[in-house]
Amino acid sequence: MFYPIGNTTIDSDKYREKFAKRYYLPFMKELIDLSGCSLKEAKELIDKVIHEEGIIINQTSKEIQDTCLAELQDN
């Protein structure tokens, strides 16, 4: 499926493995570089694709990201 972001369109099938890693920073940077979008827009696109396509998030990635986000919110 195709999703518009910034000045481009992303094919979710091409990036399915990367979407399964959720907020994987190298992938988020790639989205930003390709589209000229903001970090917030990249995060929103990732959330949207995961939700709409029912992508199962890699458990290890989820645990690491949840821990990091919790620590960030504590500060």
Tell me the C-alpha distance between 28 and 46, whole Å. Answer: 9
Paired with 9 in beta bridges are: 4
3-state helix, strand, coil in the chain (%, to 5): 60, 10, 30
pLDDT of 26 reads 93
22-74 pLDDT tens trace? 999 999 999 999 999 999 999 999 999 999 999 999 999 989 888 988 888 87
pLDDT of 75 reads 64
pLDDT of 71 reads 85
